[in-house]
Amino acid sequence: MMSEEIIACEECDLLQLGAPPAAGHALRCRRCRAELRRGRSNGPEYALAFTCASVVLLVISNLFPIVGLSLNGHVVQTTLAGSVSMLYSHGSWPLALLVGLTTIVTPVLQTLAMLWLLLPLHFGRLPWRAAEGFRLFQLARPWGMTEVLILGLLVALVKLAHIAKVVPGTALWSFIALMLLLAAAAATFDPHEVWARITAAHGARVFRLPPIRWRRHALTASAYGLVLCEECGLLLRPASGGKPVCPRCKAPLHRRKPASLSRTWAYLLAAMVLYVPANVLPVMDTSSLFGTQKDTIMSGVVYLWVSGSWPLAVLVFIASIVVPMLKIVGLAYLAGSTQLRSRWLPGQRTRIYRVIELIGRWSMLDIYVITMLVALVQFQALATIKAGPAAIAFGAVVVLTLLAAMAFDPRLMWDALESGRGHAE
């Protein structure tokens, strides 16, 4: 019989008992339905295999041309790093930094972090400084956007097909395979299971909760003086005095994210201010024999629609206009209702938060489209494309809304419910 363990939900802080789920099944919070654990069979072994294959594809994807453009015998090819370099040389260094970090640096860091942890375990050894490896993985994972890059490449290829002959490069196919492998590696990499293996196989210290005296009206970990480590997921009662630190990964412990609402509002207000120039100013400047044309995000959507690529037009419209607006409105609603200590429908508000987290990265679509167009349409006297001022503003909106979602603590929505329950007693 599987032993039960005490689990605190990361999204509503509900304290509950749960047995390890069977392979292919998930254990969900009985209050907010968040996934607590997922049963996997040989998860670390599969994750290591996917990660090793990803290393090979990362090398191919970053060394070989991703796409080429042929016009009147003149061929322009670019690698992903070359596209970033082109943005930088045109003066759009903030955009170059953003694209480089999300498409080159973070996938490499995520892959290295998984290798760092999984490879020693496979050979029966303890990972060196495992806590730092986990921290690197958690830091890189939200910012790796290979799947959005692939979709951006597809939109760019449709636009480029109207200018010249498109020549897909080796790295394009490599990136498609890499997208699938990175997703599979992240899905099979379970930090909870890896920590359990480190503890069980290598005699690491086992951190156990002291006996809990269950109380009828105390439902959350916080009500029992327990804290869930945001870095490694360890549930513990921190020692009194000084700044509490997780004994397993040495990360600072907080009952809730520090200054969560203040930071969320700060990022949101900045995103609101930049959302206007991001949609009004030109996102792309095109120079050709016929003159100069300045395109906004909306005019790019119209171009795709008129040229017959209406599915891509709808996709770009949703990703570049609707999604950022919904993220700003949704996060403002969550932060405002939480600040007012609203007890109205916390379950539904938690689901809104999950949707915002899920769709946040897809707003980067237009940034990757611009990157490819700038890198490839460089035919000097015939046609050249440069990133407009709106591209930097739009990139800042995407980053700020992502940071706002990360700063917001969904457990605060449930705290109002708990305080109300306490007063009712």
Across the chain, which has 425 residues, the per-10-residue mean pLDDT values are 72 84 82 83 85 94 87 78 88 90 93 92 85 88 90 83 80 92 88 80 60 73 87 81 80 90 96 92 72 77 79 84 91 94 89 90 87 74 74 92 94 81 44
Amino acid 201: pLDDT = 61
- pLDDT score of 98: 93
Q: Which two tokens stand for residue 244?
A: 């509490």
Structure tokens at 13: 């802080």
Distance of CA 394 to the CA centre of its chain: 17
| Cβ neighbours of residue 67 closer than 8 Å, sequence gap 6 or more | 77, 78, 153, 156, 157, 160, 166, 167, 168, 169, 172, 372, 376
Instruction: Determine if residue 37 is left, alpha or beta; phi over 0 gives left, psi from -120 to 50 gives alpha, anything else beta.
Output: beta
Quickly tell me which residue has 């969560």 as its tokens. 260
Q: What is the pLDDT of residue 422?
A: 47
Question: Count of CB atoms within 10 A of residue 199's CB?
Answer: 14
Angle (CA) 391-396-399 rounded to 5° is: 125
Single-letter amino acid, residue 307: S
Residues 41 and 25: beta-carbon distance below 8 Å = no
Per the CB < 8 A criterion, the answer to whether 66 and 171 are in contact is yes
- Give the pLDDT of residue 39: 75
Class of domain 257-425: mainly alpha
Q: Break the chain into its structural domains and give their ranges.
A: 257-425
- Which residues share a beta bridge with 288? 291, 383
Amino acid at 377: V
Paired with 228 in beta bridges are: 235
Residues 128-140 as b or e (16 or more Cβ within 10 Å = b): eebbebbbbbbeb
Q: Find out whether 346 and 417 touch, Cβ atoms under 8 Å.
A: yes
pLDDT number for residue 300: 80
With H, G, I as helix, E, B as strand and everything else as coil, classify residue 215.
coil
Compute the distance between CA of residue 235 and CA of residue 255 in angstroms, rounded to an integer.
11
Q: HSE on the CB side for 116, CA within 13 Å?
A: 17
* pLDDT on residue 208: 65
Sheet containing 165-168: give its strands across.
74-78, 67-71, 165-168
The tokens 């994750």 sit on which residue?
Answer: 47
Could you please report the per-residue DSSP string of 387-407?
E-HHHHHHHHHHHHHHHHHHH
Rounded (5°) CA angle 228-240-410:
25
DSSP 295-319: E-HHHHHHHHHHTT-HHHHHHHHII
Nearest CA-CA partner of 370 in 91, 83, 12: 83
* Sheet strands (E) in 266-363: 284-288, 291-295
90-101: burial string, b at 16+ Cβ within 10 Å, e else: bebebbbebbbb
The pLDDT value recorded for residue 56 is 94
Distance CA 335, CA 329 (A): 10
Q: How far apart are alpha carbons 50 and 111 in whole angstroms? A: 10
- In this prediction, residue 125 carries a pLDDT of 85
Burial class (CB in 10 A: 0-12, 13-18, 19+), 73: exposed
